[in-house]
């Protein structure tokens, strides 16, 4: 039923190989012949069979991407960037949601491996060992995860965190809570690293909680802990959690930002929309997706040379909205003093 290269060949009265050459590398085929072939192909509506092509060329024209959670707009943002760039380059894209499970992530990459030219793993949950195992099965590019020898694009979370701390310190906050995201997430480690460095420099004390699920419900859960710890500001791992915090604080009649400041990460649409609009760090999601595709496609076919593994770092920036304000007067002691909670206190004011 589908039209093959032989149908075109018959109609153009040439051989199949001539058709192939006329459509592809125009090497060694006369102009008039090529025109005839092209016309025949168009009339018949010929579309080459990708399976047959990839069987012989070894290239599939596809790339894959696996993300931890399709419900998180951050990942759908990078998905968007990936898909638009890939399509523009003539690539089709496979996707999969590993639901924040490392072994599912690995299995998905393996199952994709045979029908793609490479896969992008977004904020991988897998261990370095697992990831290294995957390198032999297909060409990899990572987003927000560092691994020796693997091309990757990073978003400067630590830099964003520095901006957050500077902002908070300028507003007079001396004691902040950080709500951890997943313990093994590179982004969480980076944010924490940036937080500690900046907090030390600005003489801000930090209380840490978590890890929590990086979702709305995680934020709801965390809010009470942060509230009990006597901080004047809480920095959430991401916007979803920050929104959960906001919701819980509203339920408990804690005024934001007057009694408590809240900061998130990602700059989702909903951060701008909610009441009050959330102060947050904008992450370049679509740009990250596009950059990952560029790196992946550039690396295809390049064996392990002596040249360094290509990386790209994308900058982030703080967007100040309505959930941050000057710290309430610390002498008022409206809230109970810091109790011995499950939080770990990193007091750098010495």
Q: For binding to a second copy (CB under 8 A), which residues are involved?
A: 2, 47-52, 54-55, 60, 62, 70-71, 73, 76-77, 79-80, 83-84, 87, 92-97, 108, 110-115, 216, 243-244, 247, 250, 269-270, 273-275
Contact partner at residue 96 from DNA, a second copy, none, CB < 5 to 8 Å by partner kind? a second copy
Contact partner at residue 112 from DNA, a second copy, none, CB < 5 to 8 Å by partner kind? a second copy
Q: How far is the CB of 302 from DNA (least distance, A)?
A: 18
CB closer to a second copy, 113 vs 197 = 113
Q: Where are the alpha helices (DSSP H) in the chain?
A: 5-12, 16-23, 31-44, 50-57, 73-88, 102-113, 128-135, 157-170, 186-202, 216-228, 239-251, 269-273, 285-299
**Residue 241, CA distances (Å) to 40, 179, 254, 295 in order:** 59, 8, 17, 31
* Nearest-angstrom CA–CA distance, 57 and 175: 60
What's the distance, CA 272 to chain centroid?
20
Q: How far is the CB of 350 from a second copy (least distance, A)?
A: 37
Q: How far is the CB of 59 from DNA (least distance, A)?
A: 9
* Nearest-angstrom CA–CA distance, 336 and 76: 41
Contact partner at residue 73 from a second copy, DNA, none, CB < 5 to 8 Å by partner kind? a second copy
Six-digit token string for 286? 């679509």
Q: How far is the CB of 51 from DNA (least distance, A)?
A: 7
Is residue 90 involved in binding DNA (CB under 7 A)? no
Ramachandran bin of 305, using left for φ above 0, alpha for ψ from -120 to 50, beta for the remaining angles = beta
User: What angle, rounded to 10 degrees, do the helices at 73-88 and 285-299 form?
Assistant: 40
Is residue 196 involved in binding DNA (CB under 7 A)? no
Contact partner at residue 147 from DNA, a second copy, none, CB < 5 to 8 Å by partner kind? none
306 exposed, middle or buried (CB, 10 Å; 0-12, 13-18, 19+)? exposed
Six-digit token string for 55? 């069987």
Q: How far is the CB of 93 from a second copy (least distance, A)?
A: 7
Q: How far is the CB of 165 from a second copy (least distance, A)?
A: 27
Contact partner at residue 260 from a second copy, DNA, none, CB < 5 to 8 Å by partner kind? none
Six-digit token string for 200? 């030390």
Segment 6 to 35, residues that bind DNA, using CB under 7 A: 6, 13-18, 20-21, 23-25, 28-34
CB closer to DNA, 29 vs 263 = 29
Contact partner at residue 20 from a second copy, DNA, none, CB < 5 to 8 Å by partner kind? DNA
CB closer to DNA, 36 vs 196 = 36
Query: Which of the 8 DSSP states describes residue 336?
Result: P
**Residue 151, CA distances (Å) to 98, 135, 148, 180, 328 in order:** 21, 11, 8, 27, 46
Given the rule CB under 7 A, which residues bind DNA?
2, 4-6, 13-18, 20-21, 23-25, 28-34, 46-49, 52-53, 55-57
């Amino acid at each position: 039923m589908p039209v093959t290269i032989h149908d075109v060949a018959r109609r153009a009265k040439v051989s199949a190989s001539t058709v192939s050459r006329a459509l592809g590398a125009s090497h060694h085929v006369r102009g008039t012949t090529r025109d005839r072939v092209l016309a025949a192909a168009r009339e018949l509506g010929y579309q080459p069979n990708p399976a047959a092509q990839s069987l012989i060329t070894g290239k599939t024209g596809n790339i894959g991407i696996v993300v931890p959670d399709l419900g998180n707009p951050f990942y759908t943002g990078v998905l968007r960037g990936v898909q638009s760039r890939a399509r523009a380059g003539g690539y089709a894209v496979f996707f999969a949601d590993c639901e924040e499970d490392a072994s599912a992530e690995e299995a998905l990459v393996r199952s994709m491996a045979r029908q793609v030219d490479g896969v992008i793993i977004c904020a991988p949950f897998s261990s370095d060992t697992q990831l290294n195992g995957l390198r032999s099965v297909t060409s990899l590019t990572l987003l927000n995860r560092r691994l020796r020898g693997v091309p990757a694009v990073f978003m400067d979370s630590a830099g964003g965190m520095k901006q957050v701390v500077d902002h908070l310190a300028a507003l007079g906050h001396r004691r902040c809570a950080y709500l951890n995201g997943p313990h093994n997430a590179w982004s969480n480690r980076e944010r924490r690293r940036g937080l500690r460095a900046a907090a030390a420099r600005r003489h801000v004390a930090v209380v840490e909680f978590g890890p929590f699920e990086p979702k709305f419900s995680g934020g709801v859960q965390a809010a009470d802990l942060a509230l009990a710890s006597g901080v004047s500001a809480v920095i959430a791992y991401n916007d979803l959690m920050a929104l959960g915090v906001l919701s819980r604080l509203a339920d408990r009649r804690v005024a934001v930002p007057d009694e408590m400041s809240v900061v998130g990460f990602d700059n989702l649409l909903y951060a701008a929309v909610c009441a009050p609009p959330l102060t947050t760090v904008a992450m370049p999601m679509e740009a990250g997706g596009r950059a990952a595709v560029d790196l992946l496609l550039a690396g295809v076919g390049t064996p392990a040379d002596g040249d360094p593994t290509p990386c790209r770092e994308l900058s982030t920036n703080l967007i100040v909205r309505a959930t941050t304000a000057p710290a309430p007067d610390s002498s008022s002691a409206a809230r109970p003093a810091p109790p011995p909670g499950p939080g770990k206190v990193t007091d750098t004011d010495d």
